[in-house]
Each structure stands twice: as C-alpha cells, then as structure tokens.
Chain A
Amino acid sequence: MEEIIINNETDVFLMQVVHLDKVEYTHSMESRLEYLRHDKVGRPLILVSMGTSSLVAGSEATYTRICQYSEERNLDAEIMQSGSFGMSMAEPIVSIQMPGRTRLLFSNITEDRVGSLLDDVFHNTIPTEFCIGQLRNDKHEGYRDTLFLDETAFMKLQKRVVLKNIGIINPESIEEYIARGGFKAFVKTIKHYSSEEICDLVEISGLRGRSGSGYPTGKKWKIAHHTPSDQKFLICNAEESDPGAFMDRAIMEGDPFLLIEGMAIAAYGINATKGIIYIRTEYYQSIERLEHAIARAREIGILGHNILGSGFNFDIILRKGPGAFVCGEETALINSLEGKRGMPQSKPPYPATSGLHRKPTIINNVETLSNIPAIIGKGPDWFNSIGVLNNAGTKVFAISGNIKFPGLIEVPFGISLRSIVFDIAAGPPEGKKFKGIHMGGPAGSVIPVSLLDTPLTFESIKEVGSGIGSGGIIAMDEDTCILDMVKYFMDFMQRQSCGKCIPCREGTRRMTEILESITRKPVNDNGHTTLERFKGVMQLESLAAVMKDTSLCGLGQSAPNPVLSTLRHFREEYEEHIFDRKCRSNRCTELRTYFIDVELCTGCSLCAKKCPSDAIFGTPRHPYFVVEEKCIGCGLCYESCKFSAIHYK
C-alpha cells in the first residue's frame, strides 16, 4: 500500500470537512457544503433513479430523453443519477428540485412521459397523478397541497437508517456523501476509540447480524479481535442470492460509500488490514459503483496505508462470486475465495478464529456493515432506542409477490408483520384474499394470515416457525398455491445444494420428487404409483427431521423449513391435493380437470391428436369429450383448441 497523497483542491477541502465537528464549520465551508449536498441548488436539479429495478422499468430511456429535452430547450439544469428509492411499482422515478423549492418525486416516468412532466414542472404546475410527494426540507419553500414524502402511507411507518440516502443522493459522489456527514463516524473511530472500544460499542448497541442468524455482531467481532494473528480479514458478504431479496443490492447501488465506511470501522475494530467484498456477479451496477467508490475513497485517503495519519492500514478489494447460493454460508464463501469449490466445512473452527487462509476472519453482510456508521456516529444508545428489547435497530425488507406496493422498506424491529404487509405495502391486489407471507428465502417458512400480528423480532418470528432470513418477503394471495411454492423452494434447494453431505444432497431431491408427485395426477391410479405416492407423503416429515438433524451446514438444516411450516399451517391444502386431487388456487395445472363445451366444440379433432394420453374421444365434426380417468392434466388440449371450447375446473 502506498502512502496517501492528496493533491486535488476539492479533496483537500473534503478531508477538512471530515476532520471537523459540525459546529466548527466556517460560514464559507457551510455554504459550500449546502451546494454539495444539494440543500441549495443554483439551477434546477433533475434526478433520475437508475438502480437495477429502475433500469428494468426503463429508466435509461427516461434519462436519455431528459438529456435530450434539456438540450433541445437549452435548459440550464443539472441532470443526475441516483439509486432506486425502493418503490418498485413507481419506477422509473424522477425527482425535480427547482431552486429554492423542495424536491418533488414523480412516479412511472417512462420515456414518453418525460416531455409533459418537464413541461408542467418548469411551468410551475405539478402533475398530481404522477407526484409521489415532496422531500421535507425547512430551508425550502414547500408546495401546497402536496404530501410530504414522510407522510405517504409507504413511508409513514418506515424508519430509514441504512436506506436514508438511497434515491436521494448521487451514489457516485463522495462529495455529496461527505457533505451529508459521511465518514465522520470513521474519523471519530480512529481518533477517539481503541479497536476494543469499537467492538464494545457495537456490542452495547445490540446490533445483530442481518443475514438471518441474528448473532450479536459485537460479540462476533470480539472473537476475532481476541484471536492473536499477524493477519486478519474482514469479508463483506454481498452474495445476496436469496430469490426475492435485493436489499443489499439497493444499498450498494444507492449508497456505496456507506458500506465502505462501515467496513473501515469494522476492520479497525477487529484489526483487519484487508477487506474483501464478495459480491454477486450479476450485480453489474453494484460492482461498478463499488469499484468507483473504492477508488475515490483511496484517492482522498479513507482507504490505504496509514489512514489519516493514524497508523491504521486498510484496503478493500472486490471479488465476484461466480454464482452459488451455498456460498452465502461462511465456510463455503471462504472456500470460494481460496479458489475452491464452494462446499461448506464442518464448524468449529469458526471463521472468526480460523477463516480465510486459516486467519481470523469476520464475515458480515452488507446491511449489518451499513448500520455501523450510524451506531458509531450517533452512539449505541441511539441505536438501541430504535426497535425493541434485544432487537435493536431497523431491518430492511424487499417485499414482492401478490402485493400492491412491492418494494424496499426499512422498518424498526417490533412493528407487526400486518403493518408491513397492509399499511406499508398496501395489502393484496384489489379483491384478492390474502393467504400469508413467506419470509427467509428459499429455506424460510410461510406465515399464515392468522399469525400476521406477530411482532417483528428474531425470536417471535422463529416462534411461529419461520425466520427473518436476509429480508425477502413474498406476499401470497389466494391465487398462490402453497404446494407449488414449497415445490419451487425444494427444487431450488435441490439445485443449490452443494452435494457434499448425503442428507441434503439426496434429501432435497427426494423431497422435491415427493412434492411433485403430490401435485401431479398419477398416470395409473391402480396399484404401484398410488402406493409409492402415499409412501412418499408419509416420508416427508421424517425426512425433513433427519435433514434438519444431520445436515452439515445451514442450507441443508433449513432446507425442509418450507415443508415443515406449511405442513403446520396449511395442512388442509396438502390433504386436498393428495386426497381430492384438487388445487384450490388452480396453479397445479396437472391436477386440473378438463372438459369440452359441447356448444363450442366443432369436432375438429385437433385436441384428440394432441392428447398424449389418449384421453379425448369423439367423432369428427361432432363434439369431443375428455375421459377424466385418463387425463393427465397436461393442458395441451386447452392450449391447442382454436375455438376456446375446452375449460377446466
């Protein structure tokens, strides 16, 4: 690592800011900072959210269109990109801040709407149908009859600690991050605390790992801190591979410097000199943003050799995870970093004492580390005051599925699940009956609607047979079949199991097969297959118990969770599938009963030709009929009928 030399005027200024307390700012510094953090803007500011979920919704075209618009009309405006604000339904979001006025957020600004939106706003009219709200700021003149953002249903119950800057700041600007108080916690750390004290503070704050297990972060750090070694490692686990979870990605895309600051403080606490961010390869934008952020942090001297003259050395490298769900497990992740197959190893030894290259290694996930700057900056007591006893702080969730307002939310612990689902995310789509939520990723469990009053804490969620996991919530209404979901999760686990230990490798596979047999009509209903099917069902619970009891790592131990929790809460759906061959949600297509509408059938015989099980009979040019006992429910007839004469129930 090279000695840090800063030669850029802005960077010198930034370092000055970082070193000073807020009260020590001179007037000129303060006013320069106001501009840097866009408290004041000299010309209109147009902010386009460009996180991945915005990109998927077409924000790139929106951005291009805005630039074009501005050029054509010679607008003197600053056009900037931000991370995704978290309202997936509202993407692409465009924010506009006119000089002296508060910032306004607009939803669903696709390319074609750019013209009319900008026309309106620059002529002082607000298109209310697209306006989400205005950002509260005392220094500006607000808009009348426009909700403040923190008054909206989506935001009212949220408490944004980790996400506070997301969608608001320019994630590529270290200037803006510092102007908003960034890196102050880190400077405080190395100036005022010993590494031991940092571990203490984090322990007192009550922060628990946000990746699912809820292990106290400070306690974990202390183990590594107290293990003597010439080299220690800090790994940020950004291999967010739970389907339905995108919290970490949003943080890295929207506020990368926050993660870097958190990592720097953590590294100081455990005396690590090397930090590694193990990130999903598919997270192209996060990788780009982090690469840029790391380079900038090095430039101004937050990373490198002898940081800020403290004698503390720390640098971060990015490593792209080549894609394996099991690499979320600590020992598998370490194997992957060492250039091996990502197979978990027996613990102990735990990575905190013997991890990467057998050195003490702390592995925290993105959200955990992103909480650190606030804990050090505002103090552990402040952090502890959020949430409830033993569950301090907030938790970020990605909520999706059958829900009106899918997106990214951050709520304090202790809030009820019902509030999350119905107040913040606005409940199921119009007219649909809510069934429950699935939490904790593919190894998580389903919580039925009757238990939604459960408060959000690690313990209470565990009590109802689930786990917080990394923070994906899938909402399910009556159109979702529980068995179809469980089958999907088991199949996912089967594909993602590393295959090392027998119970997980063979168990997930057999359980998937059993679930498949439940959701399929037996080809031949006399004798063997039926017997096998019932035998399989009987095995589900005992297999699940053995897998939980004997699997090598958390993946195998938790893989049966979806089955166990749904057997507990939705047993009647299993029974319907098995005994009545019925899927109440009509998702299990192979259980459908098809029939032909005699009025509509022209007797073209196409369906009979397509039928793979010869279940359709008839005379050409007369209505055909389906023999239910022979039908295997493949649906080919339904798809092939040109006269919409085939229906199912």
Chain B
Amino acid sequence: MVFTIEVNNRPIQARKGETILSALRRNGIQVPTLCNMKDYTPTGACRMCVVEIEGRENLTPSCSFQVEDWMKINTHSPRVLAARKTIVELLLSNHPDDCLYCERNGNCELQLLAENLNIRERRIPGKKSAYKNDKSSPAIVRDPAKCILCGRCVRVCEDSQAVACLDFTHRGSELIIATAMSKPLNFSNCINCGQCVIVCPTGALTEKIQFEEISNALHDPEKILVAQYSPSISVSLAEEFGLKGNRDINGIINAALRKIGFNKVYESSFAADVNILEMAEEFLRRQSKGEQLPMITGDCPAWVKYAEQYTPDILPLLTSVKSPQQITGTLIKTWISEKEKINPAAIFSVSIMPCTAKKFEGQRVEMTRKGISDIDTVLTTRELARLIRLHGIDIDLLEPEPSDDPMGGISSSGKLFGVSGGVMESLLRTIFYKHSGNELDETKLPKLRSFKPIREAQLKLGTAEISVVAVSGMNHAVKVLEEVRSKKKHYDIIEIMACPGGCVAGGGQPITKDENAIKNRIKALYDIDNKERIKTAHKNPQVIALYEDFLSEPMSKKSIELLHTTFTPREVIL
C-alpha cells in the first residue's frame, strides 16, 4: 500500500511497512547513518538518523521506525541538526585527532559527517580513553581508539561470516569491541577475511599495511622485485581512481607496477589455470579410486583457516592444491629463477590481492621451502592504489603493457577465480574436457552465475552425473557443510569462498558506498570471459609450456612437491 506523508512540508510517497529511513532515501532525502547496514535489522544504536515527527515528544530514529500515514516529518529542522551535530561532537570528543595520519583519511564516514555537519571547533572537551592497538594479526589491525562502536563489524562477523570473533565487551564508557577473553587477534578465531574492514566506517579496522617492506626492497639493489596480482584487482582498482566502468585494466596495472620499480609483473590467473589442471586431475583420481568426496576447494585462505579451526574432520576433503597466489609464488622462485638464472633468495615476491587473508596465507609455514617463502609480501587492492599514488603515477596517461612471460599467457578461466562460482565453472570446463575429450559448452552452467549465495549445478560426465555447489559467505558455507555432514545433500565438488560474492567482494577491495559496486565487478569479470578467446585452463599455451618444460604433468611428483600443500587443525578460542 502506498500513501502520502509530509516531509519537510512537501508530500512524499511511502509504502506501508517500510521504515521512515527507507521512504526518505527512496525520495532522495539523505539522512546520515552510522550503524545502519543494508539487509540487517536496524539496531538504532547511533541515533544519527533521528528525525522530528510532529506529535512525538522526543526525536525518532528513522531507521527503526515504520512509516505511518499520519506522519509529518522534519528531517533537517534546527533541532534535528543540533542533535546530529552534538552526537558527532560527542564521538569526536573521544576520537584521536589524527585524521591526517589515518588510513581512512578521505574515505571515513565520521570525517565526512563532521564535514557535512559543519563542525569547526572542538566544542565538547573531555578525556580520551586509553586503548591498546592490536597489531598482532598478520592481516588485520584493530585500533579501538578510532572505534565508534557502531557494531557493524560485530554483526558482519557473526551473521555473515559465522565466526563471531568480535563482540561488545564491558559497558557504558568502558564499552569496547573485543575478541573472546580480550585476546590479541592472532590468538582469536579470526579468519582474516576482512569483511569487518569493509564495513568499518572509520579507521578502527584496517589491513596490516606492508608498505615499508616494499619500499625497503625497492631501495635494495640486490633485490629483484616481482609482482603478481589477482584477477579481481583488475576489475576493482579503477574504482580507487574514480574511473567509471569496471573495465579490465590489466595492461595499465602492468605499466604502473613497472613504473613503481617492479622487475617482473605477472597475473595470478596464470597460476589459477595451473591450479585448475591440478585440481581437475586430483578430482578425477579421487573419483576413479573411489576416494572420499566431495572435494572442497582450498583457494580461499579465510575458508581454510575456518576449516582448520571449526571442522578439522573435513580437512582431508580439501584439495591439496595450493592457491594461485602460492603457485605463482612457488613458480617464480623455482621455475622462473631456474630459467632466468636468478638466485631465489634475491627475489622479493609481492602479491597484490583483493584479500586480507592472503596476507596470512603468505605467512603460513607450509608455504616455505628451504627457508625461502613462496611470497614475501601481500598487498591489498587498496594498498596498491596507494602505492601507485605514492609514486606519482598518473594512471590516465599510462599505455597498457603486457605482463611478463613465461606466465603472461592467460585464459579467462583463471579470471573467473574472482567471483563465487567461477572456480567451479573453470574446473568443470577442464574436468569435462579431460573426461570426454570435448570442450564444454560454456553456456551450459548458468546456475553458477546466479547471484544467490548457494549455487548448485549438475554436469553429465558420460553416463554419470556430478553434482556441485559453489557457496560464498561463511554463514552459507556452514549450512552447506552441515547438510553434507548430515547426508542430506551429496555433492562431488564444493567451492567455498568466505566473502559474500567471492573475491570481488574481498576484504582488501576498495571501500565504497556504491551498492552496485560488487555487481559491477562481477559483471566485468563475466564480460572478460564472454569476450576471451581462450576460455579454458588446459588451452592456455603457456600453461602447456610450463608442464612440458618443468612439471611434466598435473600431479606429477614435482608438481605435488611444489604445488600441493597440507592443512593442520588449529586450536584457538572458538
């Protein structure tokens, strides 16, 4: 039912059952919020969205109040504005004055509110609480001093990621968001997915910045700097520079990285193809030997940590193939260093990922051979953007450049790794080919391209049919695993990505208020696949060359030694 209400002396249309906030926003009236999250029930904690309703004694939070036909609302009366301003001033009275030094300078909701509400002096004096910075995690840094206690991280961690690493602890002015027993993050059950970083309105949660290591390496004449970047970076980095349209800017990234001083630049999607070949082989072997299925992907380091903590019993089901980041890292320090006669110890290998958990993955002990780690440093998309700006590179004026051989050749199947369901699609293409010798019609799996969090599909392999599922968002993954465990569902392959939507929505991606950003990134990846000539891993000529030259065949002794890994149960406070 639609009815008319009066807002700021003008009529607007409202729908029965919706909140005041939703009606206002639809009608183009902007009311600020801090704790509000799309698709979550409102908590009414921040009180920023208060409006004046005629006939009600106090101001009313528009986020948690249903609109009714008798309402006469004023959204920007002097009383409302004074209240909002005071609330922000109260927050600022306990906030460090270090915007200039803050990670989120220029992209901070609190800063923006202070600006929009025209706060120009520190009106409310007061003592600031003393907090400890938590830098213990390899992936995420928490600075409670900057926390405004909106609770978004708490909710995303519990509801979307099924981890509930964080919760409110204590109360009143001592209220602070903390892990169980207030332990440092690295002792907690945090899976490093970084979704909390994405939702944090201020600089209270950020990725662990690893700039320093890079600039040190850049200044070290002994070092050979090598970079790799994930397929989902190329469709999101543009946002950081305000470029319209999520186009693939691979060539520009290559050029930028070289300008910064990287000697070699690769795309991780090459290794994604390798990863597919290895996984396809592993799956076919497991299937033919009658070994335990489903096979579960292990590309997502957040999911892997989750499994190690919560479901150690299913670790044997995970594929042993390393993720594309680690495969690239390994190949750089083995194959390429052999080929180009570079001492692997002199290589400084940087990986640029849409992900905070990849920072953790890069540091795993399993990812080190003979004291040399596969990857030296992992940067997020956001850090890359900053690195480009730091080096004064005008991205608009760069001419696209190809990435370096022998890992320059890519297929669009590796590109699909950036989106939930993409690994599965690529994998099925290769499995189908390996099984039947024919190419799979790539339009045959539309179900894997829906926007649902759980995407099931079936594929005929000769007479048999295999059943697969791709799931993103740990809360949904938990459901799928529960169904498998209770034998309600049977799958042959399960693809799990921790972040809702896949790596395009990873914790290292640009923080944006654009609600369509993630859909646009996904669309860009699918567009690449639609246009690309080589759509399968097994057709990638340079991957074929890799096997001929170095690994001989998927799951050969050498590839198992180099490209496969192990998982171990992990004890943390759950």
List chain A positions with a Cβ less than 8 A from chain B. Answer: 324, 326, 341, 343, 345-346, 348, 494-503, 505-510, 513, 532, 535-536, 539, 542-543, 546, 548-552, 557
Q: Which of B43-51, B204-212, B522-530 faces chain A?
A: B43-51
Query: What residue of chain A has the Cβ atom nearest to residue B86's Cβ?
Result: A546
Contact B59 A549 (CB under 8 A): yes
Q: How far is the CB of B76 from chain A (nearest CB, A)?
A: 15
Q: Is the CB of B172 within 8 A of A505?
A: yes
In the assembled complex, 8 residue pairs joining A and B whose CB atoms fall closer than 8 Å, in A order, are: A324-B171, A497-B171, A500-B43, A501-B46, A510-B90, A513-B126, A542-B86, A549-B59
* Complex alpha-carbon distance, A496 and B171, angstroms: 7
Tell me the chain B residues, 78-128 only, with Cβ under 8 Å from chain A.
Answer: 79, 82-83, 86-87, 90-91, 93-94, 123-127
Given A505-B172, A506-B93, A513:B46 Cβ within 8 A: no
Q: Give CA–CA (A546, B84) in the complex, Å.
A: 9
Chain B nearest CB from A97 CB (Å) reads 50
Docked Cα-Cα span, A343 to B94, in Å, equals: 21
Q: Is B58 within 8 A of A507, CB to CB?
A: no
Complex formed: what's the CA distance from A326 to B171 in Å? 10
Q: Chain A at the B interface: mostly helix, strand, loop or mixed?
A: helix
**Contacts A346-B42, A505-B149, A549-B59: A498 and B171 contacting too (C-beta < 8 A)?**
yes
Binding site for A on B (CB under 8 A): 42-47, 50, 58-59, 61, 64-66, 79, 82-83, 86-87, 90-91, 93-94, 123-127, 148-149, 168, 170-175
B91 touches A500 (CB 8 A): no
**CB distance A535 to B47 under 8 Å?**
no
Contacts of B171 in A (CB 8 A): 324, 326, 341, 496-499
Shortest Cβ gap from B83 to chain A (Å): 5
With both chains docked as a complex, state the minimum distance between the C-beta of A556 and any C-beta of chain B, in angstroms: 9
CB distance from B170 to the nearest CB of A (A): 8
CA A534 – CA B58 in complex, angstroms?
28
A546 partner residues in chain B, CB cutoff 8 A: 82-83, 86-87
- Asked, given contacts A508-B173, A552-B45, whether A502 binds B90 with beta carbons under 8 Å apart, the answer is yes
Interchain CB contact under 8 A, B59 and A535: no
Neighbour of A557 across the interface among B58, B61, B91, CB < 8 A: B58
Whether the pair A508, B172 counts as a contact (CB closer than 8 A) is: yes
Would you give the shortest CB distance from A524 to chain B, in whole angstroms? 15
Contact yes or no, B168 A503, CB < 8 A: no
Partner of A550, one of B83, B123, B126: B83
List residues of chain B with CB within 8 A of the CB of A324. Answer: 171
12 more contacts with CB within 8 A, not counting A324-B171, A341-B171, A502-B47, are A494-B173, A497-B172, A499-B173, A502-B46, A502-B87, A503-B47, A505-B149, A505-B172, A509-B126, A513-B125, A543-B90, A549-B58
Q: How far is the CB of A564 from chain B (nearest CB, A)?
A: 15
Q: A497-B171, A499-B168, A550-B50 are in contact. Are A506 and B91 (CB under 8 A)?
A: yes
Residues of B within 8 A of A498 (CB): 171-172, 175
Distance (Å) between the CB of A104 and the closest chain B CB? 49
Report A351 CB to chain B, min CB distance, Å.
16
Q: A346-B44, A550-B47 are in contact. Are A510 and B172 (CB under 8 A)?
A: no
Which residue, of A324, A348, A502, has the highest number of chain B Cβ atoms within 10 A?
Answer: A502
Contacts of A501 in B (CB 8 A): 44-47
B243, chain A: closest CB distance, angstroms: 36
Q: Is the CB of A496 within 8 A of B124?
A: no
Collect the chain B residues with CB atoms within 8 Å of residue A513's CB.
125-127
Bound state CA distance, A508 and B175, in angstroms? 13
Min distance, Cβ B368 to any Cβ of chain A, angstroms:
42
Partner of B64 from the list A346, A549, A551 (CB cut-off 8 Å) is: A346
Task: State in angstroms the CA–CA spacing of A114 and B32 once bound together.
Answer: 70
Chain A residues within 8 Å of B59, by CB = 549-550
B22 CB to nearest A CB, Å: 15
B134 to chain A minimum Cβ distance, whole angstroms, is 20
A554 to chain B, nearest CB (A): 11
In the complex, which of the residues B59, B66, B83, B171 has the most CB atoms of chain A within 10 Å of its own CB atom? B171
Closest to B84 in A: A550
A494-B172, A536-B125 known; A543 and B86 CB under 8 Å?
Answer: yes
* Nearest CB of A to B89, in Å: 9
Given contacts A509-B126, A509-B173, A510-B124, contact A502 B44 (CB under 8 A): no
Which B residue's beta carbon lies closest to that of A548?
B58
With a cutoff of 8 Å between Cβ atoms, the chain A residues found around residue B123 in the complex are 535, 539
Q: Which of chain A's residues have a CB closer than 8 A to the CB of B61?
A: 346, 552
Alpha-carbon distance between A618 and B61 when the two chains are bound, in angstroms: 63
CB <8 Å contact, A510 and B126: yes
